[in-house]
Amino acid sequence: QGVYFPDHKITVGEVEMPTVILGDPAYPLMPWLMKPYTGALDTEKELFNYRLSKCRMVVECAFGRLKARWRSLLTRSDLSPKNIPIVIAACCVLHNLCEIKGETFMQGWEVEANRLAADYAQPDTRAIRRSQREAVRIREALKARFQTERVNH
């Protein structure tokens, strides 16, 4: 249903929007999932992509290490939908403990995890296509805000 966070909205320009997840170009653009522009880019789209990328790099590094340490997160799960969030949360807690305690992390794990993750295509469903118009409105409002901030600073 696209409801992942408490119902906290902000208004950018004239557009009310929810908290969003930042994704790479492989993901579908959704009202709750922002991804960069692709194709021919003007300076405004390049600025949007740059700012999105800066934020995503920190998150991607953390998730890359999490998925590398717990490869079960890379594959289809046969768990019941009720248990999947519990397993993911457990992986996150255990991963954070490993990071805090300085447990060994092999860079080869991350390379292998990235290779395995590339094999999974993202879904293309009717629900995704229905959400596109609102997602485009949100991304355009963020792009305009980034441009305004650039001019004013």
Please give the backbone phi and psi of residue 33, each rounded to the nearest 5 degrees, phi first: -135, 105
The string of pLDDT tens digits covering residues 88-115 is: 889 999 999 998 999 988 888 888 877 7
Instruction: Assess whether pLDDT exceeds 80 at residue 119.
Output: no
Per-residue model confidence (pLDDT) at position 101: 94
Per-residue model confidence (pLDDT) at position 4: 60
Q: Which two tokens stand for residue 108?
A: 């080869």
Give the SS3 label for residue 17: strand
Instruction: Assess whether pLDDT exceeds 60 at residue 151.
Output: yes
Per-residue model confidence (pLDDT) at position 123: 64
Query: Which residues are 17's β-sheet partners?
Result: 10
Percentage of the chain with pLDDT > 90?
25
The string of pLDDT tens digits covering residues 42-84 is: 999 999 999 999 988 888 788 888 988 988 888 778 888 888 8
Q: Which of 2-6, 33-37, 41-45, 94-98 has the lowest mean pLDDT?
A: 2-6
Instruction: Assess whether pLDDT exceeds 70 at residue 36.
Output: yes
Task: Please give the model's pTM, rounded to 2 decimal places.
Answer: 0.58
Q: Is there a contact between 32 and 21 (Cβ–Cβ < 8 Å)? A: yes
Per-residue model confidence (pLDDT) at position 100: 93
Instruction: Assess whether pLDDT exceeds 90 at residue 3.
Output: no
The runs of H, that is alpha helices, within 5-125 are 43-69, 84-100, 107-117
pLDDT bracket for residue 38 (50, 70, 90): very high
Per-residue model confidence (pLDDT) at position 1: 55
